[in-house]
Structure 1
Amino acid sequence: MGQEEKTKWSLNTVLLLLLFIVFAVFALFPLVTLTIASFKPAQELMRFGLNLKISPEIFSFKNYTYLFSGKSLYLTWYTNSLIITAVFTGLCLFLSSMVGYGLAVYNFKFRNVIFALVLVTMMVPLEIIILPLYKLSISLKLINSMWGVILPFVVAPLPIFFFRQYASGLPKDFLDAARVDGTTELGTFFRIMMPLMAPAFSSMAILQALFAWNNFLWPLIVLRTNEQLTIPIGLATLLTPYGNNFDMLISGAVMAIIPILMVFLFFQRYFIEGMTAGGVKG
């Protein structure tokens, strides 16, 4: 009986592994195709489109050399996106975690009302609030600046909800012990609660960095000059009615994948744990 169960378990494992391999192939196929195309000249792409054909005689690094040669603004766009993503993600995690932690730990008047407003805000589409945000940005003189892209969304409802749910499931004994030892409320948050919320920070870091890096609509409205553009908008400017720079577009898109991939690989250790715990606690 034990041998039969072992054989059955091994068969199930093999079938599951094959299924995951199939999914991985489908997921990686566009990325591999894009990477191969990034080493081809524009004429080859126009003639044959995207394909997996590898021809050593036409392969070159000219597309990547041109991107960072200073002849284009790609490096400027890349730098802008990196700065906006890093600043936005850091501020969002810091401020949203404090708000979510406060809603979860402290009992004060209208706490539930405030949390309900956070939930309502999550249901409002961005398109509805674009005009008021735009008018506010003009009043605060944030147009055509990185802060105009960062500040309107730096305290977002989704991270607040997530941190609140996660903090609600943390043991309150740590708080009581810290207060008995005379630790301040801020000291308790930074020294004790933040390390316990590491999985939540990792999950939100990936999601918020992805949002900031891929954000297109709001930066398109706020940013005016070519030197202030981000990667998504800058690459979109390469497609015009007068000609399309497919070689630069594709190689630029491949390079744009690297930062967010590094963020995921760095934080993926706690990603599943944080998403699961944050979704069921509270």
Structure 2
Amino acid sequence: MTETTKTHPIAKIIIVLMLLVLAIVVLFPFFALLLASFKPSTELLRYGLNLKLQAHLMSFKNYIYLFQDGAKYLTWYKNSLIITAVGTVLSLLFSSMVGYALAVYDFKGRNATFILVLAVMMIPTEILMLPLYKLMVSFKMINTYWGVIVPTMVAPIAIFFFRQYALGLPRELLDAARIDGCSEFRIFFSIMVPLMKPAFGAMAILQAMGYWNSFLWPTVVLRTEDMFTLPIGLSGLLTPYGNNYDILISGSLLTILPIIILFMFFQRYFISGLTVGGVKG
């Protein structure tokens, strides 16, 4: 017992050092991009990404260019924020309701519906792209925010996750609420949603990242430059006639901020939500 007690602090120090080294390795690309965002494109093409602090070459010209008159960066940023915010909220709302219903209510065809959800998860997005595009054309949603949001508003992976989490909710609360005269909607929003906060926190981060980084489907739906999202707009900086890597890196770094802020708000729910939701069954 004494030997174990003496070696425990040493093992703890080793673990901390290993995690510190791992963190440095993981953050290395971020620091390299941060320094590169202040350097001219010619320097990047000549030496690539590095950690050299060349003060005489570094400036804020790249960031100034992003926000100068005529630049569409703020417009792209606004479009991405709107699509991500609206899409995430609607996806959490509808996906949680479907997942909750599949877990709590007994109705004919429940298992078949769940199997269908699992089947849709296995279908690549590229296969569904043509029928979805025709559907958006018929709904007159091309080049609109709704054209990007509606096809992914009810996500199969989110339905599966909420169902797994809702399977662990106490059914006694449902019976007690019904005896008190609560409607099914009030039971869901007033009782079950607060109990599902970890699930909402985890899915909020994952769904928001999906909308924020989405490139292929917005490229198909959005037509004009004023409607482009950040991934589409920034990709336009790379052309056969010139590659503005300096502007691209600066713009890409600023796109990380909303995801970092979102993670800071929901990080306490993220791990617990993924852990609990992944083992219920």
Band the TM-score falls in, shorter-chain normalisation: over 0.9
**Overall identity of the aligned pairs, in %:** 60
**Counterpart of 1:214?**
213
Q: Distance in 2 between matches of 1:219 and 1:242?
A: 24
- Give the length in aligned residue pairs: 281
Instruction: Give how far 1:73 is off.
Output: 0.7
Give the alignment of 1:4-153 within 5 angstroms: 4-153=3-152
Q: Distance in 2 between matches of 1:232 and 1:226?
A: 12
Equivalent residue letter for 1:175: L
Give the alignment of 1:153-232 within 5 angstroms: 153-232=152-231
Give the alignment of 1:242-281 within 5 angstroms: 242-281=241-280
Consecutive unaligned residues of structure 1, counting only runs of 5 or more, are none
Instruction: Please report the TM-score for the alignment, with normalisation by the length of structure 1.
Output: 0.97
Instruction: Give how far 1:6 is off.
Output: 1.7
Equivalent residue letter for 2:193: M
Q: Distance in 1 between matches of 2:21 and 2:147?
A: 43
SS in 1 for 2:268: helix
Consecutive unaligned residues of structure 2, counting only runs of 5 or more, are none
Instruction: Please report the TM-score for the alignment, with normalisation by the length of structure 2.
Output: 0.98
Deviation track 1:190-230 (CA, whole Å, cap 9, x = no partner) reads 11100000000000000000000000110111111111111
Q: Distance in 2 between matches of 1:255 and 1:247?
A: 13
Equivalent residue letter for 1:170: L
Q: Distance in 2 between matches of 1:106 and 1:34?
A: 50
Q: Distance in 2 between matches of 1:208 and 1:70?
A: 33
Instruction: Give how far 1:43 is off.
Output: 2.4
SS in 2 for 1:24: helix
Instruction: Give how far 1:58 is off.
Output: 2.1
Q: Distance in 1 between matches of 2:74 and 2:139?
A: 29
Aligned CA RMSD, in angstroms, stands at 1.0
